[in-house]
Chain A
Amino acid sequence: QQQVKQSPQSLIVQKGGISIINCAYENTAFDYFPWYQQFPGKGPALLIAIRPDVSEKKEGRFTISFNKSAKQFSLHIMDSQPGDSATYFCAASGDTGNQFYFGTGTSLTVIP
């Protein structure tokens, strides 16, 4: 059973557009929600993360929106660039401490 559901599976966006990736979870014990970016042939790298005590976190062109009541969170990439083309994973972890649960990934392609 997938603990974190991610959509869409793939996304194509024009340069300068907004990319939006959504994730949903069921386990209310989750209290940490990171997003990872992965380029082909590389390991995932932390992009941005949020805790449920805030509804939004912004870092440069990347924003996480968090809706605790709906148990959903999303990644918004503003002014998307071809260099943003990668696979993005959402994840969640909770008071069990050591286990991250990852979404299935979204392959983003930004067209010049």
Chain B
Amino acid sequence: NAGVTQTPKFRVLKTGQSMTLLCAQDMNHEYMYWYRQDPGMGLRLIHYSVGEGTTAKGEVPDGYNVSRLKKQNFLLGLESAAPSQTSVYFCASSHPPFRLADNQETQYFGPGTRLLVL
């Protein structure tokens, strides 16, 4: 049981290049999320998905696209990378509802992808 995995772990892009970040989970979770983490900003939700074939915008969706073609995978795409997208990206997954009786079921996070856009 690997939990939530992310690839790649680290990437350097030039402004204008595109790339896709892959998130995979083996916990059969319905919900998946993409966050970015920046110093002094905490974690901010980019996009999320409540099931295969569905996606929705989060707090900071501009410049990103996502796809959830398979239940276990959630892809985050940058079509034209900008220096402002330099960040650490985290994927997370959860069961619905993510708040079970004892409050212990919640989002499980991957190890992160560090992206540098030059």
What residues of chain A have their CB less than 8 Å away from a CB belonging to chain B?
A: 2, 4, 6, 9, 32, 34, 41-46, 48-51, 57, 89, 91, 93, 97-105
CA distance A57 to B103 in the complex (A): 11
The closest CB in chain B to the CB of A57 belongs to B103
Q: Contacts A46-B104, A49-B104 given; indicate if A98 touches B48 (C-beta within 8 A).
A: yes
Cβ contact within 8 Å between A43 and B45: no
Cβ contact within 8 Å between A98 and B106: no
Residues of A within 8 A of B103 (CB): 32, 34, 48-51, 57
Cβ contact within 8 Å between B41 and A100: no
The closest CB in chain B to the CB of A64 belongs to B103
What residues of chain B have their CB less than 8 Å away from a CB belonging to chain A?
A: 4, 31, 33, 35, 40-45, 48, 50, 56, 58-59, 90, 92, 97, 99, 103-104, 106-112
Cβ contact within 8 Å between B99 and A32: yes
CA distance A75 to B67 in the complex (A): 36
Cβ contact within 8 Å between B104 and A102: no
Q: Contacts A34-B103, A89-B42, A103-B42 given; indicate if A45 touches B48 (C-beta within 8 A).
A: no
CA distance A4 to B56 in the complex (A): 22
Query: In the complex, how many angstroms separate the beta carbon of B91 from the nearest chain A beta carbon?
Result: 8
CA distance A21 to B58 in the complex (A): 26
CA distance A31 to B89 in the complex (A): 26
Query: In the complex, how many angstroms separate the beta carbon of A100 from the nearest chain B beta carbon?
Result: 7
Cβ contact within 8 Å between B42 and A45: no
Residues of B within 8 A of A41 (CB): 111-112
CA distance A91 to B50 in the complex (A): 19
Of A45, A46, A99, A104, which contacts B41 at CB under 8 A? A104
Of A6, A89, A98, which contacts B56 at CB under 8 A? A98
CA distance A50 to B92 in the complex (A): 20
The closest CB in chain B to the CB of A50 belongs to B103
CA distance A57 to B59 in the complex (A): 29
Of B31, B50, B97, B109, which contacts A45 at CB under 8 A? B109
The closest CB in chain A to the CB of B106 belongs to A46
